[in-house]
Structure 1
């Protein structure tokens, strides 16, 4: 059976990533795609010095690192860059200068080889990542995308058939983790640090808010929770300096904050499952590697007879395997994009006007 090979590039924020994936060139095939390589060059150490991502530094380092990462991914896959059948890159959302580095590189490869270029929505990549290693294909499900920049509940009927049910009205869950981590004096990124400390804490030690739980809709909010932690700090230590907190108190505060986030996410997920009738829930995004969230979501799904689909830990944070996977499905459906299409730092996944804009790019190369 003829196969299609896709080279994917991810550069939306502070990870420079390239992956090469191949699969049968048929939408009806159920064979698990073969991930030939997935290489990530992280900039965490660089941005940790500044307490968060500095856009100019991110784009500059993408430019420096990307050629090397492409060479390494191709070496591991046993192919030359020009041997791929299509080139996919993140087109948004993300940091515009960072997006341009990967996007322009993929377009250059497509132009040089005369092969298709595919612009991939970063959120679609995350949303589909739990199915990269699945031999069932993309099944109908409720998608919960929880990352540093987004918290989304999406009704997924099939590839390309998505309906937004709810989102964060302010801070995304991952953003709240990182901001609270920063106010607690924890290293960047704060999410993994809070997860580790919370494992040693009492999640009921502090009564922190869970916004919009009584609201009948699917939207969530974490800004008030973040502010509540900020106002709690001066009550725990006269200086207000988190460095003066007793270690157990810090662990308890992390556990209480984390539990408030998890309670909100799970409550809304159950509401979404009831409203759609889906029997499967797929969790994705950087926060999906949070161990407490995984454990409690699994226990909740077991209790309600829901199948929980989790991505491999390697596919939770920003990576190019998810971009190549989404690009593969676009290629199998005959979707590709012209070389003059723009990146969009605010690209939506399900917005009607955005969908119409993307549809006009679909055509024959």
Structure 2
């Protein structure tokens, strides 16, 4: 038996301002509150997230969101055992808002502060409400990231393969913009695809014949752009969306199949975890579930609410690190990081996109 921990989590890495309070006891998490405030109206006119607008919205909403989470949980700051906040990667203005909010609360209340890698939050998110012990294969698929990782334990991640250009979620958003479907793009494409013919267009499936687990979606996006030039009716747009979504499903399924073939879970069952915003796409989830079943693995995915950015996963990551005694950073001295790969050793030794002055990009 371990002492129960009560953690406040804060997430502000992109365009959701979120706060959650989580109780962690004997390896199990119970959410006491989970507040997510979106910025859809602010960014909709631009058909994408504008970093400056996002940062200002976070600054206006952060303290109100935290207060709402604490009130819903029925707790005071003195009742907390720690405060966790996303310290990166993400839009630096938003990350700074959440990081400074978390630090201020932790310092004022005299509680430990745990800086959390946003990607680690996604990696651990299935453990919020499901029995998901280590190790497992993770497909992290979102607007900014698309990579396969072997999750060996808390803080122990090995990159197996990544996109070499666009992330899958980024491709969804750009296709929505090309077709004038509005913002957010991913759900709009999925809705339109439901009425289309997935075989109407023979879009490319890049890199499928190459070894390894690398992926590419830039060429697929270009092919969609050419098809979109002649699309006028909703039926034509629906066919493009359905064909595009089918191509994404095929690429992710083929790579998942190869990842599962290589993964040795020892004597345990094979677990295949999919997390990130794109994991909420029902067609993609169904395709991956079929691959998991064929590969003798169990597909585990967080509830739809916790696929997209949320503070519950940040609180969980903070709680697990605090419970283990592991340090994730320098506490109150930690800084905001626009780039923060989960597998830093691989990112430095073999960067997918190269490294900039602020560190490895992926």
Provide the TM-score with structure 1 as the length reference: 0.90
Structure 1 residue 82 displacement after superposition = 3.6
In structure 2, which of residues 221, 242, 263 is the aligned counterpart of residue 226 of structure 1? Answer: 221
- When normalised by structure 2's length, the TM-score is 0.91
Q: Across the two proteins, how many residue pairs are aligned to each other? A: 341
State the match for 2:18 in structure 1: 17
Change in Cα spacing, 1:77 to 1:149, as seen in structure 2 (3 Å) is same
Match of 2:336 among 320, 343, 346: 343
Secondary structure in 2 matching 1:331: helix
> Is the 2:5–2:81 Cα contact (8 Å) retained in structure 1?
yes
State how far apart, in whole Å, the 1-side matches of 2:47 and 2:132 are: 39
Matching of residue 291 in structure 1 with residue 282 in structure 2: yes
Aligned residue in 2 for 1:62: 58
CA distance in 1, matches of 2:63, 2:129: 27
Do the aligned partners of 2:256 and 2:288 also contact (CA within 8 Å) in 1? no
Cα distance in structure 1, aligned partners of 2:91 and 2:114: 19
Alignment partner, residue 35 of structure 2: 39
Give the Cα–Cα distance (whole angstroms) in 2 for the partners of residues 200 and 110 of structure 1. 50
Q: Give the CA deviation at 1:311.
A: 0.6
User: Residue by residue, what CA displacement relative to the aligned partner does 1:247-279 show, whole Å, maximum 9, x if unpaired?
Assistant: 221111100001111110111111111112342
Report what 1:254 is aligned to.
241
Q: How does 1:1-365 map to 2 (within 5 A)?
A: 2-24=3-25, 29-30=26-27, 32-134=28-130, 136-234=131-229, 237=230, 242=231, 245-278=232-265, 279-336=270-327, 337-352=330-345
Distance 1:287 1:89 in 2: 23
| Cα distance in structure 1, aligned partners of 2:64 and 2:42 | 18
- Return closer, same or farther for 1:183/1:297 CA change in 2, 3 Å cut-off: same
In structure 2, the residue corresponding to 1:33 is in which secondary structure? strand
In the aligned structure 2, how far is the partner of 1:354 from the partner of 1:35?
33
Distance 1:300 1:349 in 2: 25
Structure 2 residue runs of 5 or longer lacking an equivalent are: 349-362
Give the whole-Å Cα distance in 2 for the aligned partners of 1:302 and 1:224: 30
CA contact (8 A) 1:82 1:109 kept: no
Q: 1:45-100 CA deviation, whole Å, 9 max, x = no partner?
A: 11011111111111111111111111110111110134211010001110111100
The residue number in structure 2 matching 1:359 is none
Question: Partners in 2 of 1:9 and 1:60 — Cα distance?
Answer: 16
Task: Note the C-alpha offset of 1:137.
Answer: 4.8
CA contact (8 A) 1:21 1:37 kept: yes
Residues 353/270 of structure 1: CA separation in 2 closer, same or farther (3 Å cut): closer
- Give the Cα separation in 2 of the matches to 1:327 and 1:265: 30
Shift of 1:10: 0.1
Mapped partners of 1:272, 1:142: distance in 2: 8
Measured after TM superposition, the shift of residue 191 of structure 1 is: 0.6
Q: Distance in 1 between matches of 2:19 and 2:319?
A: 14
1:140 to partner: Cα distance = 1.2
* Runs of 4+ off more than 4 Å: none
Q: CA deviation at 1:334?
A: 1.2
Aligned equivalents of 1:223, 1:196: Cα separation in 2: 22
> Over aligned residues, Cα RMSD in angstroms?
1.5
Gaps of 5+ in 1: 356-365
